[in-house]
Amino acid sequence: MTIRMTHSAVDLSGTLARLAEFAAGYRSAPAEAIQPARDALEDVIACMLAGRDDPSTEAVSIMTQALGLGPALAVGTTLRLAAPYAALVSGTAAHALDFDDNFEPGLTHASAIAAPALFALADAEDLQGEAVVAHHILALELQARIASLFGPETYDRGWHSTSSLGAIGTAGACASLIGLDAKGVRAAMTIACSMSSGTKKQFGSDMKAVHAGLAAQAAVHAALLARAGIRGTEDPLGGRMGLVGLMSLAPTAERAAAATADLGMRWALVDHGVLPKRFPCCGAAHRALDGLAMLHQENDLAAAEIAAIEVTVNRVAAQNLRFDRPETVAEARFSLTYPAARVVTSGRLSLLDMTPEALADPAMRSLAAKVAILHDPEAPFDLDFPTPVRIRLGDGRVLETTVTIGKGSLKDPFTREDTQFKFADCCRWAGVDAAAARNAVTGLAHLPFRETARTLEDIVKHRSNRIAAETETDR
């Protein structure tokens, strides 16, 4: 039997070389991207603090301690580990509650990969916080440009881009952070290609959070392996057995050209921003939840008034939100029915709503059963898909709206109240002092990162001691 296969002959070695040269020569951040980067780092640190007690983070923490301690703080905890394992724990904590940002150009949870990796290296190598902020911008830029080679097809096929692609661009930023030349940066990105994995089949399980941790760990490992002299193929992405063709469509010359166009002149963080999450659940649910929150605010709805809720989402969102009757909190994060029941009656979804006790609330389970999710299984994958929501009330009235722009985007940014509510929600969940945590984050860009790490470590220690004291008092 003969198997015939056709593959594009497009060679992406030049594309990777140009991205590596750009990253190696990167010295200062574009001024217009600095504040968005600081905002993203503040958001992800809050998520790390909140995610420290999640079972996935705790399990990863136990495993990494068995491997030995080191100089780098796993942010959100008091653990000090070798840099790759600090990144693994921090990345898992950042993504554990699914409250961390989305990044549309990369289809990644960008900050949950980049920040843990950069934090770990900056602490281990005693680098400046200013460099962390600058290289966070670079990590997102490289994530976006690498992802543009694959296109949205890779995500549509079921790959979780956070873990399958996110490490590649972040590895380039990590290599740049520790001062590697263009060959070293290119090697780091090539090495990260060999660590690319993770599918959306894991959504709704503990492993989904670990995807971000593994991507952050891979980025650090790749940079350190490159510094140690490991080299790989010149073109891990293109050609017959390249990663692009294996995970997506065959690479094209058009995408190759776009991936390096306007390098240093246009920045993904400026043009697209990141999407901080308003709700602690899968981003695929957020436009629907924005619409339900709006209708609640306008009508002050109570559960007893609602006869039915209909939400129309795109095909990929329907695939992600596959737990109509979630039995665990992990499944509830990849549900639309349960979050919709909470948001339509309160206007918000807090971390306090994502507990086994809250999930078991009979009133919420009854209302969640009234939520119908509609989608066209043949519709193309479209990130800008409008999301109509319709509420049918018991008295016959119908309330409806359509959301086309998600809250947190550049066109509809978070208000100060949104940011403060989320940060406080995370700190309350973590049991840490919100004011102290915010001060630590504010000083990050102006201090050696090691000082910020020590401050965050002290904040968590204070929390741990307070809980221990309360436990002792209870006895």
pLDDT per position as a tens digit, 195-245 = 999 999 999 999 999 999 999 999 999 999 999 999 999 999 998 899 999
Tokens 């574009």 correspond to: 30
| Whole-number percent of the chain with pLDDT over 90 | 87
Q: Cβ neighbours of residue 83 under 8 Å, at least 6 residues apart?
A: 70, 71, 72, 120, 121, 123, 124, 220, 224
**In the numeric block, which tokens belong to residue 125?**
């190598």
Q: Do residues 226 and 183 make contact, with C-beta atoms less than 8 angstroms apart? A: no
Average pLDDT over residues 398-418: 93
pLDDT band at residue 466 under the 50/70/90 scheme: very low
Average pLDDT, the chain: 93
| pLDDT score, position 464 | 65
| Model confidence pLDDT, tens digit, residues 160-197 | 999 999 999 999 999 999 999 999 999 999 999 999 99
Sign of CA dihedral 255, 256, 260, 261: negative
Q: Comparing 140-144, 222-226, 443-447, which segment has the lowest mean pLDDT?
A: 443-447
In this prediction the pTM is 0.93
Alpha carbon distance 155, 152 (integer Å): 6
- In the predicted structure, residue 473 carries a pLDDT above the cut 70: no
| Model confidence pLDDT, tens digit, residues 331-350 | 999 999 999 999 999 999 99
pLDDT band at residue 465 under the 50/70/90 scheme: low
Q: Cβ neighbours of residue 360 under 8 Å, at least 6 residues apart?
A: none
Residue 309 half-sphere exposure toward CB, CA atoms < 13 A? 33
